[in-house]
Structure formats: structure tokens, C-alpha cells
Amino acid sequence: MYLQRWVAAGVVALACAGQAQAGRTCDEPQDLTPAKVDKSMTLALKTLQALDASGAKVVVMARAGQDLTKYGVRYSHLGFVYRQDTPDGAHVWRVVHKLNMCGTAESGIYRQGLGEFFLDDLWQYEAAWVALNPQAEAAMLKVLLDGPRSLVLHEPRYNMVSYPWSQKYQQSNQWAIETLAFAMTAASTEPVTSRTQAQAWLQRTAYQPTTLTITPLVRLGARMTKANVAFDDHPDEKRYADRIETITVDSVFAWLKRTNLSAGVPQVQR
């Protein structure tokens, strides 16, 4: 049954390949060879088995889609993975995450299977995930099971290195933690209903972005050749000092641990 599930997922994902990527443009080669597809499906199956054994219902999961080691970053992209029960008493795992429309500065929120999530010509065939604490898990599950609520704070204008405290653009990891702020405050007397409020909540809970060192020449080249990269939302004093602050998987995992929003340490699946 597992084999049939992953073969089906692979067919769907191959049909969709090239439509959306996290921080990529379609002119970059996407050589999804049979060997790469096999590695992706194997990783998806191992991850499914680990999730089933974990007892979790919602986790924050990351993949290593691009080589960002020169910036001291291991994982490039994250999303929410949740368990959904089916009428026959079984269950499936779904991924909700934000993807950049290929070759453009636009994005959308996608709901996929694990096979599709990993079928992205990965730099490293590994995943990292962390379960949420019971309160955060229950809050996020309500949002993830309700499609329209997961879109409340989505901003279609995409920027791979968007500034965490601006509302001009929104990158994938930024949507995730702003939506977590939305979920965590939904039942409070001061619910988050806007991106401005979400970012204020993140600041109050001591979220700290990653600072990347990006020189003027690199910024110019990226801005001229990539529709999904911009720097005009960053404060001048930081940009001119080559200090580009943005939301990375590493910073999100560290924040989840620091605030006890996570239920343990990140698990790595290879």
C-alpha cells in the first residue's frame, strides 16, 4: 500500500514539476532523473514512518532544497505537516507551505503530500522536523484543517530574502511563522488579524532573524537576474552595511525551542 501511495504521489508531482518552487526560477535546470525520484520517494516514506511513530499531529518540517552553506544555513524551506484522519479509519500526512511561482515575484499556498514536498531536485536528501507543544499543535491543526484560515496572512508578493519586519513582501518561512502567530492568538482577547500584528507578536516572543552578509555586487546581480529577489524592503542602514536580515529555518527552529513552542529537539531524517 505504501509503494502504491508513493508511486501515485510521484506521478502527480512530476505532472506539476516546474509550476512552483521555493525560491527558484524555472530557467534553472530541474533534472529529475529516475534516481532522484527514487531518493525523494524513499525520503518521503522514511519520513512518513517516523511521523507515524512520533505520535505528533502537527510538525514544522524543513528540506534542504538549495546549497546555502556559504551563508551558514543548512535548510532552505519549511512548511507545516499535519495528520488528517480519513473516513476509513486510516490517516494521511499533508504539507501546507508557501511556494514561489516559477520565474515571477508571485507566490501561493500549496497543500501537498510528502512525496511532492521532497520531489524538488534537493541539494541534500534529508529532512528536519520538530513537533509543536500541545497548545501550539491544537491551534495550528485548527488552521491547517480550515483552508481559508491558512490564507488569512498570505501576501502573494514574494521575495526570497524579505525583511522580517516589513509587509511589502513575504517569503515562505515568513508566512509560516506569521500564520503560527495567527493560530496561537485566535482564542485570545487580542487575536492577530494582520501581518503587522503578527510581526509584533513575533517580536514580543523574541523571534530573532538570521543576518546574512550579502555584498553590493551580489545584491545587484541577484536583483537584475532574479524576479524573486529584492532588497528594497530592508532598512537602508542595514542594507548598506551588507547586513540582510531574513527568516531562515535555523532561526525558526531556535525560536521554537527558546519559547517552548516545540515539543522537543529537531529530528533529522535521511
Q: What is the pLDDT of residue 6?
A: 39
Query: Beta strands 243-246 and 267-269: pairing type?
Result: unpaired
Cβ contact 201:194 at 8 Å: no
pLDDT at position 75 over 80: yes
Specify the DSSP element, H or E, that contains 22. none
Q: What is the pLDDT of residue 15?
A: 32
Name the average pLDDT for the chain: 89
Q: Which three cell numbers stand for residue 230?
A: 529584492
The answer to which of 80-84, 175-179, 224-228, 240-244 has the lowest mean pLDDT is: 224-228
**Count of structural domains within the chain:** 1
DSSP 191: -
Q: Which three cell numbers stand for residue 79?
A: 512548511
Cβ contact 149:197 at 8 Å: no
Q: Which long-range contacts (CB under 8 A, 24 or more apart) does 43-47 make?
A: 43/118, 43/122, 43/125, 43/126, 43/127, 43/269, 43/270, 44/6, 44/9, 44/113, 44/114, 44/115, 44/117, 44/118, 44/119, 45/2, 45/6, 46/269, 46/270, 47/114, 47/118, 47/127, 47/129, 47/269
Cα torsion at 86, 87, 89, 94 (round to 10°)?
Answer: 0
Neighbours of 86 (CB within 10 A): 8
- Tell me which residue of 2, 13, 35 sits closest to 113, measured CA to CA: 13
Provide the CB-side half-sphere exposure for 203 (13 A, CA): 9
- Tell me which residue of 241, 270, 206 sits closest to 74, measured CA to CA: 270
pLDDT in tens, 93-123: 999 999 998 879 999 999 999 999 999 779 8
- Cα 146-93-149 angle, rounded to 5 deg: 15
Task: Please give the residue range of the domain that contains residue 56.
Answer: 2-269
Assign 220 a pLDDT band (cuts: 50, 70, 90).
Answer: confident
Q: What is the pLDDT of residue 245?
A: 98
Q: What is the pLDDT of residue 1?
A: 39
Q: What is the mean pLDDT of residues 243-256?
A: 97
Assign 30 a pLDDT band (cuts: 50, 70, 90).
Answer: low
pLDDT in tens, 131-157: 999 999 999 999 999 999 999 999 999
Cβ contact 267:129 at 8 Å: yes
